């Protein structure tokens, strides 16, 4: 398969207020936001309550002592699972406890396993009239298909990819669907290697993380 019509990916969060933001005493300050929001991002993590942290970044070290109870501004809706709703649609969640993120929530698991509260992280559907391919994938038109598709150049020998952010959400299950078309011949797997970066598949592969990324699902 070389071109994709549709992709949707959902993440399922296991617990509401766990997380690992700045768990070590020397983690670097990745944020550009002010120290109050840094304080909240550290202290809105349940595991960090009652502990102290030294955050090093840009030549400045900040000492943060988290209180023993969650600070008041911490948001409890970390993922769609924390919403009190059975209606699928767009919601605001706070994966790090303070930063709002708009996401589509599958509240009845109709796209997945029937469990409530799946958070969508990646989606494109090329039959929608204004749809565009996500960054990294190339849009292609075929005379016998009445909408564009996404994929790689037919004559390129390397794979191309796109990345979807989990926005820092802690998750333990992934579900989704991909719909695609085969063009030209199917070659399935090539270049068998132990190393995920050197394995070639003529199809679609979904991985998570980096250095090294880990395999979730492949269709050849
Ligand atoms: C969830 O929503 C229902 C209906 O609006 C309400 O009765 C219930 O108290 C809510 N539960 C929580 C935990 O907020
Ligand atoms: C893709 O978009 C079409 C047109 O809007 C819609 O009918 C269809 O349900 C969508 N498919 C999915 C899986 O969301
Ligand atoms: C493909 O077709 C769409 C309209 O369906 C058009 O907007 C787009 O420019 C075309 N892309 C290419 C690469 O021809
Ligand atoms: C691949 O095909 C495109 C258009 O079909 C062409 O412009 C490009 O030069 C080709 N690249 C290679 C490496 O053959
Ligand atoms: C795997 O690919 C990397 C670069 O992408 C290369 O340096 C390495 O030699 C390859 N390993 C094998 C076993 O081919």
Going by CA atoms, what residue is nearest to atom 9 of ligand 4? Answer: 155
- Ligand 3 atom closest to the Cα of residue 140 is 13
C-alpha 182 to ligand 4 mean position (Å): 19
Q: Say if residue 134 is exposed, middle or buried (CB neighbours under 10 Å; 0-12, 13-18, 19+).
A: middle
Query: What pLDDT is recorded for position 30?
Result: 45
Could you report the per-residue pLDDT of 33-77, keeping only the tens digit for each? 456 788 888 899 888 999 998 888 777 888 899 999 999 999 989
Cis status, amide bond into 183, omega within 30 of 0: no
Q: Is 73 in the pocket of ligand 3 (CB under 6 A)?
A: no
> Rounded to 5, what percent of the chain is helix, strand, coil?
10, 35, 60
Query: What pLDDT is recorded for position 161?
Result: 87
- Mean pLDDT for 167-188 is 85
| Residue 175 pLDDT exceeds 70 | yes
- Ligand 2 atom closest to the Cα of residue 179 is 13
Euclidean distance between CA atoms 71 and 73, whole angstroms:
6
- Ligand 4 atom closest to the Cα of residue 156 is 13
What share of the chain has pLDDT > 70, as a percent?
87
Going by CA atoms, what residue is nearest to atom 11 of ligand 4? Answer: 155
What share of the chain has pLDDT > 90, as a percent?
36
Euclidean distance between CA atoms 143 and 5, whole angstroms:
15
Element (DSSP H or E) covering residue 41: helix 35-43
Helix (H, G, I), strand (E, B) or coil at 12: strand
Query: What pLDDT is recorded for position 11?
Result: 82
Could you report the per-residue pLDDT of 111-144, keeping only the tens digit for each? 888 888 999 999 999 999 999 999 999 898 888 8
How far the first Cα of the chain sits from its last, in Å, is 7
Query: What pLDDT is recorded for position 83?
Result: 94
Euclidean distance between CA atoms 4 and 137, whole angstroms:
10
Q: Which residue has the higher pLDDT, 18 or 165?
A: 165
């Amino acid at each position: 398969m070389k071109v994709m019509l549709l992709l949707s990916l959902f993440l399922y969060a296991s617990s509401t207020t766990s997380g690992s933001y700045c768990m070590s005493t020397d983690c670097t300050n990745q944020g550009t936001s002010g120290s109050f929001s840094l304080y909240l991002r550290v202290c809105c993590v349940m595991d960090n309550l009652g502990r102290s942290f030294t955050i090093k970044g840009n030549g400045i070290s900040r000492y943060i002592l988290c209180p023993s109870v969650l600070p008041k501004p911490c948001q409890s809706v970390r993922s769609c699972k924390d919403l009190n709703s059975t209606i699928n649609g767009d919601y605001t969640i706070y994966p790090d406890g303070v930063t709002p993120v708009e996401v589509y929530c599958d509240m009845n698991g109709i796209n997945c396993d029937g469990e409530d509260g799946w958070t969508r992280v990646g989606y494109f559907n090329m039959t929608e009239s204004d749809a565009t391919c996500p960054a990294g994938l190339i849009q292609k038109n075929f005379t016998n298909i009445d909408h564009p598709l996404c994929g790689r150049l037919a004559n390129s020998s390397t794979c191309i990819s796109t990345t979807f952010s989990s926005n820092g959400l802690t998750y333990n299950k992934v579900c989704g669907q991909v719909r695609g078309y085969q063009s030209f011949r199917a070659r399935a797997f090539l270049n068998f290697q132990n190393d995920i970066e050197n394995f070639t598949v003529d199809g679609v592969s979904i991985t998570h993380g980096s250095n090294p990324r880990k395999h979730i699902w492949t269709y050849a």
